[in-house]
Amino acid sequence: MAKEQDLAGRILELIGGKGNIAAAAYCMTRLRLTLADPAKADTGSLKKTAGVLGVVESAGQLQIILGPGVVNKVADEITALTGLRMGEVQDFKAAYEDKNRTPFKLFLRKLASIFVPLIPAIVASGMIAGLTNIVIRMGGDPKSSLVLILNALGWGVFTYLAIFVGINAAKEFGGTPSMGGLAGVLIINPAISAITIGGAALVPGRGGLIGVLLVAWVMCFVEKRLRKIVPNAIDIVVTPALTLLITGFATYFILQPVGGYLSDGIVAFFKSMLGWGGAVAGYVLAGTFLPIVMTGLHQGLVPIHMEFLNTLKENPLFPILAMAGAGQVGAAFAVYLKTKNQRLKDIIKGALPVGILGIGEPLIFGVTLPLGRPFITACIGAGFGGAWQAITHTSSIALGVSGLPLAFLIKPGQVGNYLIGIAIAYVAGFLVTWLAGFDDPRDESTGSGMRL
């Protein structure tokens, strides 16, 4: 851990010291820091620090890309050095006075804060659901104890994901987390199927995670308003009860129908795009996804992926977007074979395995984006894989990581199509990058550097 300890110390030094951290968190690849005074950070030196694959300023956060397996260790070291737990916010007014605040950026920040902490549970459950698929395809009895246990492990989080989302949403909206969990319960409770409003029976789960976010926001709004007028002596009893009562009626008469229309509309939009656009739509979606990942905005698509699964029981969008990473893998192979820069070769050797496994940030910020042209050629190559996935109507049955592991989550009978799409993106990304070439960065040890 000495290496991670040194890296954590260097990061703290370059961001202006531990006193400049207003809030800290991390995800699968990124250390996410909100700084009290962003001007104190030396981002130029930070980008050149060994072990740092890239630095992104997004939605008011300084996101330091370290890669999977490294980021959690560095986060632990930063916690040890500062005493600030990941997810904890210090009392800095500046943390909320970001110069670049806009409603859209704040919205994206909240979405990321709600869904990023859930990704490990979603990925773990998705992979086990995929393993269950494999066991059944290999002749396993769907009613056997092994398959039933795997089903319970793999699908449990998706059954109750609304509650987790509600809890995290309440934290972000300034309410009580347990009341946010109730927002999820209001949406998925099987008991509501016996309720008829306006001649139509309520449907458990309708509105999905979008509905949960709406309900959680309203619940937090009501709760905070009630706490201003309810006497302290009875607040603990009256405020939660009135909050649930008011929000509950609002949910079933207004919020769940609205959430249902929104979620249905989003799914219908993408479904129509793929239906009418076919290969062209697949190409565009896959070819433009890497820039979205680069900015961190891809976390905002989690509710959309879940709505596909909730509404259609399959997701045709996820395999298409997964081709973005495959195109980049092909591009990185081309760079590795052409470059004379040993440090770049070492970065690619470390980043390629996780890229193949569906984690693209190390390749983005360590290889393709700094080189410039390979980032564009990776997007071009990805588009060909996306076009294939679109015309073959390949879908996933759960949410997990992309890359090769996603094959475990592909709808039965379509795994071959998915793997062909990955191969197409690999080859296209490689060929376009090889033909387009790039400016080989100067190797400080040899002084070499040229146009390749």
Token readout for 76 is 């632990």
Q: How far apart are CA 165 and CA 159, in angstroms?
A: 12
Token readout for 206 is 């309708």
| Crossing angle for the helix pair 317-338 and 342-356, to the nearest 10 degrees | 160
CB 54 within 8 A of CB 365: yes
Q: What is the DSSP string of 94-142?
A: GGG--TT--HHHHHHHHHHHHHGGGHHHHHHHHHHHHHHHHHHHTT--T
Token readout for 420 is 């062909």
3-class SS of residue 262: helix
3-state helix, strand, coil in the chain (%, to 5): 70, 10, 20
Q: How far apart are CA 3 and CA 14, in angstroms?
A: 17
Residue 274's Cβ-side half-sphere holds a number of Cα atoms within 13 Å equal to: 25
Question: Which residues in 225-255 are b (16+ Cβ under 10 Å) and which e?
Answer: ebeeeeeeeeeeeebbeebbebbbebbbeeb
Active site positions, annotated: 27
- H-assigned helices in 189-301: 208-229, 232-250, 256-287, 289-295
Closest CA to 192 of 175, 207, 181, 178: 207
CB 64 within 8 A of CB 55: yes
Q: How far apart are CA 183 and CA 200, in angstroms?
A: 21
Q: How far apart are CA 409 and CA 406, in angstroms?
A: 5
Q: What is the DSSP string of 279-315?
A: HHHHHHHHHTHHHHHHHTGGGGGHHHHHHHHHHHSSB
CB 329 within 8 A of CB 356: yes
CB 381 within 8 A of CB 425: yes
CA dihedral in degrees (7, 13, 15, 19; nearest 10)? 120
**What type of residue sits at position 24?**
A
Token readout for 219 is 């619940």
